[in-house]
Amino acid sequence: MTALEQIQVFPPTPGVPMFVWFEQVGVPILAFLLLGFVSWQVFRTLNRYLDRKHGTISGQELESLRAEVETLRGQLGPVEDLALRLGEVEERVDFAERLLTKERERRAQLEAGS
């Protein structure tokens, strides 16, 4: 047997017509592409609408706001110290008021007893 005689020849298979392939494969691919494009357009339009309605912050504005926040945080330290000192002064005033009230009561008792 020669090499040509050993090759088996299969009977020709009927080919799938092009329109069947397009219906089964091409149409779903095109549908997904169309859905993706329409979704992208809707989201892009919605994003533009929200940007116009609420405004956007540019990079320079964001850096300016961050710098302002850091400045305010730096000013917060002395304010907290002043709040602590004010609390201490309030306690001292309360203590002095109590001492004065006791002294007045003691004098009132001494005058009433005399």
- Could you report the per-residue pLDDT of 12-46, keeping only the tens digit for each? 556 656 667 677 888 889 999 999 999 999 999 99
Q: How far is CA 56 from the centre of its chain?
A: 14
Distance CA 39, CA 35 (A): 6
Q: What percent of the chain has pLDDT over 70?
A: 81
Distance CA 36, CA 43 (A): 11
Distance CA 14, CA 7 (A): 21
Distance CA 90, CA 99 (A): 14
